[in-house]
Amino acid sequence: MSVTPTLLQRIGTQLPIIQAPMTGSDTPALAAAVSQSGGLGSLGCGARSPVAMREAAAAVRAATDRPFAMNLFVLDTPSPGAAEVQAALERLAPLYERFQLPLQTPSAWCQDFAAQFETLLELRPAVASFTFGLLTSDHVRHLHGAGSLVVGTATTVAEALAWQNVGADAVVASGVEGGGHRGTFLSDWEGSQISTMALVPACVDALAIPVIAAGGIMDGRGIRAALALGAQAVQMGTAFLACPESALVPAWREAMARADGGDTRLTRVYSGRWARGIVNTMMRELLPHEAVLPPYPIQNALMGPVRRAAAKAGDGEHMALWAGQGVGQTRAMPAAELMRTLARESDA
Amino acid sequence: MSVTPTLLQRIGTQLPIIQAPMTGSDTPALAAAVSQSGGLGSLGCGARSPVAMREAAAAVRAATDRPFAMNLFVLDTPSPGAAEVQAALERLAPLYERFQLPLQTPSAWCQDFAAQFETLLELRPAVASFTFGLLTSDHVRHLHGAGSLVVGTATTVAEALAWQNVGADAVVASGVEGGGHRGTFLSDWEGSQISTMALVPACVDALAIPVIAAGGIMDGRGIRAALALGAQAVQMGTAFLACPESALVPAWREAMARADGGDTRLTRVYSGRWARGIVNTMMRELLPHEAVLPPYPIQNALMGPVRRAAAKAGDGEHMALWAGQGVGQTRAMPAAELMRTLARESDA
């Protein structure tokens, strides 16, 4: 009798815990610590160039021989009109002025997806995960040929089915309570704000492939809850964001330590895509423009200089403080200690 | 050694399952079937007069001697200005016209809370639960004197703490994925859209009294998940709405059978209070006015004639189709059979 291996067996991890890819906030040290502890660390590579992807993967591999994941944004490079860009830039003039930045167009809107994808095939991570869009079956076949399992991100059952249809090995069912960007790519925004508690069982019922639960999962209670809902694993972002190995500046850590679930909002102001973070001055100042901001990645690229300047200045009121609704339950401990704690709690 | 009794022991139920009060949609038959099956049935009495409350309680008691709950809206009767009412009425003129209803002000905006509360003390249900506002400690003391346990509804940790502070015996942590009205009374709207997965553990950590999880819980998986998060019981609305014992008209049942989590929205258009239901023509037509509609219970009372006429006409496009994000997982079975199914599934 043949037995279908579980998702964990296929990946080769012991614990059903994936550290979420957090582009700009994860580090090779964080991913390596999670993988070394029996979970699956991830490198959010959406904003990493091929060179940076190679460096990050090498750094993880220098620290552990355990499996890890690399994540890309499935994204076309946009060609916005000059007038649209100028209007969007001028909307940000007060922020640029605050940090004495020249009001100019960035040299690129985003990384080139095709080049990143080629690099992923070359690097052959155990898991290749994707957000913001859908791969073709050809893409998936190439990744399988390279030895990578393919994990898609879905915010609705329709998106989860789309990933199953192109041959993904598993789908992250990403609840609306999660921090950072929503992965929505197929459904309209209003119809894709579904919570983990509702989305996970709906995906489990609709799919033949394993479901990974994400959104609001902070500790062993959340892990056991997600597994009870039918998920084979969980993906946790905010919980790992508080680890010292993450790339967060102190002002962001301090804001997280003060915040609870009621302090986060979903907004387009950071990047032109819906994303959840802690309310601060910058969010409040940009909210009146939310409906007219250009789409991702244009607004995201225009905000880049502000984000970097605020981070450098330690100014938590003018950066994107990504965090999920579970932010009140974060524990600022080293990733290996957090993994031991999660393993103990979820066994209980 | 004295052992603190659990919430279930105090209520006197066997199963950690509360049928949510669903004003206008629950029935004595539904509540009695749930209580008779070892859960806690509820009568949503927000819109019931004292006479109707007595009739409903008597009907439950004629069918079962098990404990049941009665729920009230904690609400002041408003005194809106004539101009505000006229403007609000005129906004609804197309809907009134569609059903050939006279465009006139209703005879009352809501039930009188003080009279309802006196009736509750007289009826002495095992559990008295409340939404939309906070009781005083005196209220709670009177209910305890009458032998009722007091359960408050919270959408944030701050609201849950407020209920604990006035002496409530337990708090329903009501996640944003749930159907019908949000109970928010203390926090601002933007800060109170917290999901079950995030809200329940946060309340469990903050409170000394038991937490009841609500929002998105549809089956044994959801029950086990909620208990894993630290809840002592669950409160389920949408799941019981699909039972033949509920008061739903066929058009609403049919809409639920077709819908999934992506088909519901939170909106103020039904009643002036944020509530979740299935998108239909009426919701889309009223959405452009959402920001200017009068508050609950004024908009609710003005919509009353339309709701009743649409229900009578079997017109599912012009009624409030309350439902939570778990609507895709409903099972249209008699309440006793659903309770047996939930008991079996949550034991698994």
B246 pLDDT tier (thresholds 50, 70, 90)? very high
B189 pLDDT tier (thresholds 50, 70, 90)? confident
Question: Both A124 and A166 in a single domain?
Answer: yes
Is the pLDDT at A123 greater than 90? The verdict is yes
Give pLDDT, residue B257.
97
Q: Nearest CA to CA, how far is A334 from chain B (Å)?
A: 22
Question: Both B232 and B116 in a single domain?
Answer: yes
Question: Both B102 and B238 in a single domain?
Answer: no
Is the pLDDT at A184 greater than 60? The verdict is yes
Question: Both B165 and B18 in a single domain?
Answer: yes
Q: What are phi and psi of A146, to 5 degrees?
A: -80, -5
Q: Nearest CA to CA, how far is A122 from chain B (Å)?
A: 38
Q: Nearest CA to CA, how far is A324 from chain B (Å)?
A: 9
For residue B175, list chain A residues with Cβ-Cβ distance below 8 A: 195, 197
> What span, in angstroms and rounded, lies between the C-alpha atoms of B8 and B15?
7
Tell me whether residues B265 and A190 touch, CB distance under 8 A: yes
Residue-wise DSSP of A176-190: TTSSEE----SS-SG
A221 SS3 class: helix
Give pLDDT, residue A348.
65
pLDDT in tens, A104-120: 999 999 999 999 999 99
Residue B290 sits at the chain A interface (C-beta within 8 Å): no
Interface test with A, best of B156, B161, B195, B267 (most A CBs within 10 A): B195
Is the pLDDT at A1 greater than 60? The verdict is no
Tell me whether residues B261 and A157 touch, CB distance under 8 A: yes
Is the pLDDT at B198 greater than 80? The verdict is yes
What are the residues facing A130 on neighbouring strands?
A72, A152
pLDDT in tens, B301-341: 999 999 999 999 999 999 999 999 999 999 999 999 999 99
Mean pLDDT of all residues in chain B? 96
pTM over 0.95? The answer is yes
Question: Both A141 and A182 in a single domain?
Answer: yes
Report the chain B residue with the minimal C-alpha distance to residue A324: B198
| Full residue range of the structural domain in which residue A162 is found | 1-75+111-244+333-348
Average pLDDT over residues B57-72: 98
Question: Both B173 and B203 in a single domain?
Answer: yes
Tell me whether residues B216 and A225 touch, CB distance under 8 A: no
> What span, in angstroms and rounded, lies between the C-alpha atoms of B220 and B346?
4
Give pLDDT, residue A2.
59
A5 pLDDT tier (thresholds 50, 70, 90)? confident
Give pLDDT, residue A189.
87
- Contacts with A7 (C-beta within 8 Å, 6 or more apart), sequence order: A169, A170, A210, A212, A232, A233
> What span, in angstroms and rounded, lies between the C-alpha atoms of B45 and B221?
29
pLDDT in tens, A333-345: 999 999 999 999 9
Residue A215 sits at the chain B interface (C-beta within 8 Å): yes
- Contacts with B195 (C-beta within 8 Å, 6 or more apart), sequence order: A175, A176, A177, A195, A196, A197, A215, A216, A325, B175, B176, B177, B215, B216
Residue B207 sits at the chain A interface (C-beta within 8 Å): no
Instruction: Please check whether residue A5 is in contact with residue A224, taking contact to mean a CB–CB distance below 8 angstroms.
Output: no
A294 SS3 class: coil
Report the chain B residue with the minimal C-alpha distance to residue A226: B225
CATH of the domain at B180: 3.20.20.70
Give pLDDT, residue B348.
65
ipTM: 0.97
Find tokens 């994808």 and name the residue. Answer: A117
Question: Both B121 and B161 in a single domain?
Answer: yes
Residue-wise DSSP of A106-168: -S-SS--HHHHHHHHHHH--SEEEEESS---HHHHHHHHHTT-EEEEEESSHHHHHHHHHTT-
Tell me whether residues A326 and B198 touch, CB distance under 8 A: yes
Number of domains in chain A: 2
Query: Which helix (DSSP H) or strand (DSSP E) does residue B9 occupy?
Result: helix B7-11
Question: Both A203 and A264 in a single domain?
Answer: no
Question: Both A40 and A125 in a single domain?
Answer: yes
Question: Both A133 and A166 in a single domain?
Answer: yes
A187 pLDDT tier (thresholds 50, 70, 90)? confident
Question: Which member of B215, B221, B265 has the closest CB to residue A228?
Answer: B221
Question: Both B217 and B265 in a single domain?
Answer: no
pLDDT in tens, B73-117: 999 999 999 999 999 999 999 999 999 999 999 999 999 999 999
Residue A329 sits at the chain B interface (C-beta within 8 Å): yes
Residue B175 sits at the chain A interface (C-beta within 8 Å): yes
Question: Both A99 and A20 in a single domain?
Answer: no
For residue A176, list chain B residues with Cβ-Cβ distance below 8 A: 176, 195
> What span, in angstroms and rounded, lies between the C-alpha atoms of A175 and A159?
13
